[in-house]
Every structure is written in structure tokens, then in C-alpha cells.
């Protein structure tokens, strides 16, 4: 199950004003708290954070909202970002790279998800392959990319530890987004 | 007895140290009169630096200082349009006729002299700037469209430093003008200033030890701007200045931060500033200036 969380609505609630810019740490922390409250009431597997009503995400809010949600771990959700414009990726990418974290971002339309933040290059390649082909095991991925199976296993382990793919038995599934 | 401090005729980051020197030992014992009658021009950095001096005196519980306004009507009008007098009236006893700020449509003042007291003010500043920033950065300076977001981010992070670290309020102003002598191109300048604790005191409890005897205003600025440290233990902190530095590199922009008795700058090829200047005359708080120049045609 997917829970879509409209960040713009949470922002308006948090600052009690019609702002479209997600800036400052107190605001980011307030928005994150509201996301956590929403998820606490939900039985979803994937939390789709929808930034489409947001104009600007600064570094402080990228850190307070996205990085801290990912750092909290342990909650069992897969986080996916959507509605971000290309020029809004930068702050989130910068902050997640600093923390060595990563998250999938769905581009507008039906394109393939993109990874923001840091994962090893093999894991990035494996992510693209799984998004393109669907669920794969270590052997499938090794054959698809011409790798040794040990290499693909490591890349998949890495993706799973970042909660960027969903392991089910021997297969690694793309994170559900629809 | 009242001591007179002359406001430089051309008041910007390069004449700021002369202005600070005039203040003498801090806090001054005598009542101060800031004489701006001969001032012909002031950058945003100069304007909010003057306000910071006034605020610091108020916070040091000194007598309200006097300020004689510029003699030139043109200069006065410009200061009024930049919102200077509106803020100055609370901090100084103003002498001289102050014009009303004229509303004349789009101007080079992208953001009036604006107080930053709390996070809500940062929201307002970022909201106010977005439309004008795009017009100037993309339209006049030839920067790519995404520059507007980066610029707003830089502004947001610089203002947040006041709220998060200064321990008091401060000011921000943004203006576009032409750097005739230094660069011969249009620039946008963000100036942010506060009269707070400064970088050294802010970072002292968490970082002074590892610098040992080197610890001082200059070392604190290096720690913050070059090494990206913060007084907070949260590992996500300290990224704001690092990010600003990174995108200024791409645009040949400049950032300089003055705090206490030191100034640290990331100096682009077009400027002749020195990276670190120590043993400057003391001035309270922190003053940040970010300069983004128009891109050269082949680089745009």
C-alpha cells in the first residue's frame, strides 16, 4: 500500500501561512513531525512524499525532512519522492550525499525513478537495471550487467540496506510507486 | 562628551575596517555620533553594518547614538528606498531631513534592508526575493534559470545563521549594481549582518580545543567556511556555507565573512582581496557578503 503525503499541505499547516518555500530548520522539523504522525496512522509500505506544490527546498529543510526521515530508519517504510523539478534535486542530493544516504525520486510523467544522494556506482547501476527490468535475483542481475554474481549480490545488498529495493525471497523488487 | 565617527564617503566592505577602527575599544564609553553627511554611496554591506553598530550599542546598554544623514539628496533618497531609515529610526537619533521612501516600480534594490529575528522572517525574505531574483540573475546577469533557486537557498542559509547562531537579531539586504572599478560588470550582492556572539564564541565550546593556540576569530571562520563545522553535534549541520561556496566557485562569485577581528574570503580571479585577514579592528557579530557577478558572454 502507498501513502501519498502532500508536503505543500503539511508546510501550510506547519507555518500557518500560504508559503511555498520549504526553508528553515524549525519548519523542516515541523513538517517531518507531521509526516511521522501521518505514517504512524498508516499501514503503508511506501511513503510517497509529494513536493509538487513546493517552490524551493533549502539545505536545512532537505536535511530536516528527507535526511532525518531516512536516518531514523527502523520504521520499515520505503520513501519515494515525487513532484520535484530538476532544479530542486540539488539540495536534497547534496544533503543525502553528505550523510551517505540515498532516495528514489520519481520524475514528472512516467519516467524511470532517479537516485538522489550517494550509493556506490555498482548499486546505482543495479538500481537502474531493476527499475528497467523489474524484479531480479543476483544471478539475473549478474547476467544482465556482465558481472560476477558476487558483485551483483553486493550491489543488491547495498540497495536493500538503503531501502531502495524490496527483497522478497531471492528477488529484489523495485519499490512500489503505483 | 560625544565622539564623532565618520561614515566613509564610499562605504562598502573595503572601507568597513576604517569605520570599525573609528569605534575604538568595544564597547565605547562615550556617546557616539555617526556622521554620514559626506557619504556619497553605501553598499548593502555598509548600510546594514551601520545598523549593526547601532544595534550593538543598544545591546551594550550604551546611550542611543546619533546619526547625521547624508547631505546629498540623491544618496538620502537611495537609502530611503533601500529601507535604511525605517530601521535606523529605532536605533539612532536621526539628524537631518529624511525623505519618504518612493515606490517607483522595479529597482536595483532586490530586498530592502530587512530585519531577521526569527525563522518566519527567513520565510518572508525568501518569498519576497524570488520574483526579482529571477529577473536580475537570469535576465541581467546571464545565469542559468536554476541559479534563482541556488541564490534563494544561499540567502535562506545565510539568514538562518543569524537565527541559529547569533543569539540576537540581524539584517539582510540584497541589491544589484555595477562594479565599475573592481570588475566592470553587473553584480548582485547579498549582505547579512548581526551584532551577535560571532563565529569564535559560537564555535568555542566544541572546536577551540583542537586548534589550541591558533584559536581565534580567523581560525573560527576557517573552521566554519572551509571545514564546514558547526556548534551543533547534529551531523547534518554546517552544510549551508559549504554549499554556497560550491556554487559561487561555478559562477566566479565571492563570499567574505567578517567576525570579530578577522575576515575570511573565498576570492575569485577578478578580485584582489586576501583570503584571510587577521587583527582587524574589532566589530561586533558577523557580517557576510556574497557577490555574484554577471557571467562573461562565453561562460553564460
Q: How far apart are CA A136 and CA B58, in angstroms?
A: 68
- Closest Cα to residue B162, out of B151, B154, B172? B172
Q: For every residue of B140-209, which 3-state class applies, written as one string? A: HCCCCCCHHHHHHHHHHHHHHHHHHHHCCCEEEEEEEEEECCCCCEEEEEEEEEECCCHHHHHHHHHHHH
DSSP A62: I
Q: Would you state the pLDDT for residue B138?
A: 84
Q: Would you state the pLDDT for residue B299?
A: 47
Q: How far apart are the first and last CA of chain B?
A: 56
Q: Would you state the pLDDT for residue B268?
A: 94
Query: Given this structure, which CATH class describes domain B2-293?
Result: alpha beta
pLDDT tens-digit map of B232-283: 878 878 788 888 888 899 889 999 999 999 999 999 999 989 999 999 999 9
Q: Would you state the pLDDT for residue A177?
A: 79
Q: How far apart are CA A141 and CA A151, in angstroms?
A: 9
Q: Would you state the pLDDT for residue A109?
A: 75
Angle subtended at Cα B80 by Cα B54 and Cα B56, rounded to the nearest 5 degrees? 10
**Residue in chain A lying closest to B240 (CA):** A59
Q: Would you state the pLDDT for residue B93?
A: 97
Q: Would you state the pLDDT for residue B298?
A: 61
Contact A90, A56 (CB under 8 A): no
Which H or E run contains B57?
A: helix B44-59
Could you tell me whether strands B109-116 and B170-179 are parallel, antiparallel, or unpaired per DSSP bridges?
A: antiparallel
Contacts of residue A84, defined as CB under 8 A and 6 or more positions apart, other chains included, come to A51, A57, A92, A105
Indicate yes or no: CB of B127 within 8 angstroms of CB of A67.
Answer: no
Q: What residue ranges do the domains of chain B occupy?
A: 2-293
Q: Which of B130, B157, B164 sits opposite A58 (nearest CB)?
A: B157
- Does the beta carbon of A168 lie under 8 angstroms from any beta carbon of chain B? no
Length of chain B (residues): 300
Q: How far apart are CA B123 and CA B158, in angstroms?
A: 13
- pLDDT of residue B142 exceeding 50, the answer is yes
Indicate yes or no: CB of B239 within 8 angstroms of CB of A55.
Answer: no
Q: How far apart are CA A2 and CA A80, in angstroms?
A: 10
How far is C-alpha B11 from the geometric centre of its chain's CA atoms? 12
Q: Would you state the pLDDT for residue B300?
A: 43
Q: Which domains does chain A have, with CATH numbers?
A: 1-118 (3.30.750), 120-178 (1.10.10.10)
- ipTM of the complex, rounded to two decimals: 0.85
Burial (CB count within 10 angstroms: exposed 0-12, middle 13-18, buried 19+), residue A144: middle
Q: Could you tell me which residues are beta bridge partners of residue B188?
A: B176, B292
Q: Would you state the pLDDT for residue B61?
A: 95
- Does the beta carbon of A98 lie under 8 angstroms from any beta carbon of chain B? yes
pLDDT tens-digit map of A93-150: 999 999 999 999 998 776 789 999 999 999 999 999 999 999 999 999 999 999 999 9
Cell 541559479 sits on residue: B147
Q: Would you state the pLDDT for residue A8?
A: 96
Q: How large is the average pLDDT for residues A155-166?
A: 96
Contact A174, A165 (CB under 8 A): yes
Residue from B117, B127, B143, B245 to probe the interface with A (highest A Cβ count within 10 Å): B127
User: Secondary structure of chain A: what % helix, strand, coil (to 5)?
Assistant: 50, 20, 30
- Does the beta carbon of A87 lie under 8 angstroms from any beta carbon of chain B? yes
- Does the beta carbon of A26 lie under 8 angstroms from any beta carbon of chain B? yes
For residue A63, the chain B residues in CB contact (below 8 A) are 236-237, 239
Length of chain A (residues): 178
- pLDDT of residue B164 exceeding 90, the answer is no
- pLDDT of residue B104 exceeding 60, the answer is no
Q: Would you state the pLDDT for residue A110?
A: 67
Q: How large is the average pLDDT for residues B83-101?
A: 93
List, as own/partner pairs, every contact residues B76-82 make where C-beta atoms lie below 8 angstroms and the sequence separation is at least 24, other chains included.
Answer: B77/B102, B79/B42, B79/B47, B81/B107, B81/B109, B82/B44, B82/B47, B82/B109, B82/B112, B82/B113, B82/B173, B82/B175
pLDDT tens-digit map of B171-204: 999 999 888 777 888 999 999 999 999 999 999 9
Q: Which of B127, B145, B243 sits opposite A94 (nearest CB)?
A: B243
Could you tell me whether strands B170-179 and B185-194 are parallel, antiparallel, or unpaired per DSSP bridges?
A: antiparallel
Could you tell me whether strands B66-68 and B31-35 are parallel, antiparallel, or unpaired per DSSP bridges?
A: parallel
Indicate yes or no: CB of A90 within 8 angstroms of CB of B127.
Answer: no
- pLDDT of residue B230 exceeding 70, the answer is yes
Largest CA distance in chain A: 55
> What mean pLDDT is reported for chain B?
90
Q: Would you state the pLDDT for residue B255?
A: 96
Q: How large is the average pLDDT for residues A52-81?
A: 91
Q: How far apart are CA B221 and CA B202, in angstroms?
A: 11
pLDDT tens-digit map of B284-294: 999 999 999 99
Q: How large is the average pLDDT for residues A171-177?
A: 90
Q: Which three cell numbers stand for residue B55?
A: 544595534
Q: For every residue of B97-146, which 3-state class applies, written as one string? A: CCCCCCCCCCCCEEEEEEEECCHHHHHHHHHHHHHHHHHHHHHHCCCCCC
Q: How large is the average pLDDT for residues A6-25?
A: 92
For B8, phi then psi, to 5°, come to -55, 150
Indicate yes or no: CB of A27 within 8 angstroms of CB of B119.
Answer: yes
Q: Would you state the pLDDT for residue B103?
A: 54
pLDDT tens-digit map of B23-75: 999 999 999 999 999 999 999 999 999 999 999 999 999 999 999 999 999 99
Contact A42, A81 (CB under 8 A): no
Share of chain B above pLDDT 90, in %: 67
Q: Would you state the pLDDT for residue B286?
A: 96
Q: How large is the average pLDDT for residues A82-86?
A: 90
Indicate yes or no: CB of B236 within 8 angstroms of CB of A24.
Answer: no
Share of chain A above pLDDT 70, in %: 98
Share of chain B above pLDDT 70, in %: 96
Report how far apart, in Å, the C-alpha atoms of B172 and of each of A126, A141, B49, B53, B159 are.
46, 53, 10, 14, 7
Q: How far apart are CA A34 and CA A7, in angstroms?
A: 9
Angle subtended at Cα B294 by Cα B289 and Cα B300, rounded to the nearest 5 degrees? 130
Q: Would you state the pLDDT for residue B101?
A: 67
Amino acid at each position: 500500500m502507498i501513502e501519498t503525503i502532500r508536503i505543500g499541505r503539511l508546510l501550510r499547516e506547519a507555518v500557518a501561512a500560504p508559503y511555498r518555500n520549504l526553508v528553515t530548520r524549525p519548519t523542516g522539523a515541523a513538517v517531518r513531525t507531521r509526516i511521522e504522525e501521518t505514517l504512524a496512522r498508516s499501514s503503508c509500505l511506501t511513503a510517497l512524499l509529494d513536493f509538487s506544490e513546493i517552490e524551493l527546498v533549502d539545505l536545512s529543510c532537505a536535511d530536516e525532512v528527507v535526511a532525518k526521515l531516512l536516518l531514523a530508519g527502523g520504521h520499515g517504510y520505503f520513501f519515494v519522492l515525487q513532484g520535484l523539478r530538476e532544479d530542486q534535486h540539488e539540495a536534497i542530493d547534496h544533503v543525502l550525499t553528505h550523510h551517505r544516504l540515498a532516495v528514489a525520486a520519481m520524475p514528472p510523467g512516467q519516467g524511470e525513478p532517479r537516485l538522489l544522494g550517494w550509493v556506490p556506482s555498482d548499486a546505482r547501476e543495479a538500481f537502474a537495471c531493476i527499475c528497467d527490468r523489474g524484479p531480479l535475483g543476483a544471478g539475473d542481475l549478474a547476467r544482465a550487467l556482465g558481472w560476477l554474481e558476487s558483485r551483483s549480490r553486493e550491489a543488491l545488498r547495498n540497495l536493500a540496506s538503503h531501502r531502495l529495493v524490496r527483497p522478497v525471497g531471492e528477488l529484489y523488487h523495485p519499490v512500489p510507486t503505483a | 562628551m560625544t565622539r564623532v565617527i565618520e561614515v566613509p564617503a564610499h562605504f562598502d566592505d573595503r572601507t568597513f575596517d576604517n569605520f570599525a577602527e573609528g569605534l575604538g575599544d568595544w564597547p565605547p564609553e562615550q556617546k557616539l555620533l555617526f556622521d554620514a553627511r559626506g557619504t556619497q554611496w553605501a553598499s548593502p554591506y555598509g548600510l546594514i553594518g551601520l545598523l549593526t553598530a547601532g544595534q550593538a550599542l543598544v545591546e551594550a546598554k550604551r546611550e542611543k547614538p546619533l546619526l547625521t544623514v547624508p547631505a546629498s539628496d540623491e544618496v538620502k533618497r537611495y537609502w530611503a528606498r533601500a529601507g535604511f531609515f525605517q530601521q535606523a529610526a529605532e536605533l539612532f537619533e536621526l539628524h537631518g531631513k529624511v525623505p519618504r521612501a518612493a515606490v517607483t516600480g522595479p529597482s536595483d534594490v532586490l530586498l530592502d534592508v530587512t530585519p531577521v529575528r526569527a525563522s518566519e522572517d527567513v520565510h518572508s525574505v525568501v518569498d519576497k526575493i524570488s520574483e526579482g531574483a529571477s529577473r536580475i540573475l537570469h535576465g541581467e546577469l546571464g545565469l542559468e534559470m536554476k541559479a534563482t533557486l541556488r541564490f534563494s537557498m544561499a540567502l535562506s542559509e545565510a539568514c538562518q545563521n543569524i537565527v541559529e547562531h547569533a543569539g540576537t537579531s540581524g539584517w539582510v539586504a540584497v541589491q544589484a549594481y555595477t562594479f565599475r572599478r573592481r570588475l566592470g560588470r553587473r553584480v548582485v550582492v547579498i549582505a547579512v549582518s548581526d551584532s551577535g556572539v560571532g563565529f569564535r564564541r559560537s564555535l568555542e565550546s566544541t572546536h577551540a580545543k583542537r586548534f589550541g593556540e591558533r584559536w581565534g576569530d580567523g581560525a573560527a571562520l576557517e573552521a566554519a567556511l572551509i571545514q564546514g563545522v558547526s556548534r551543533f553535534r547534529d551531523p547534518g549541520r554546517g552544510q549551508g556555507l559549504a554549499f554556497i561556496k560550491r556554487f559561487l566557485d561555478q559562477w566566479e562569485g565571492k563570499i567574505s565573512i567578517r567576525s570579530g577581528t578577522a575576515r575570511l574570503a573565498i576570492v575569485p580571479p577578478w578580485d584582489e582581496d586576501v583570503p584571510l585577514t587577521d587583527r582587524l579592528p574589532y566589530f561586533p557579530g558577523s557580517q557576510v557578503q556574497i557577490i555574484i557577478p554577471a557571467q562573461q558572454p562565453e561562460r553564460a
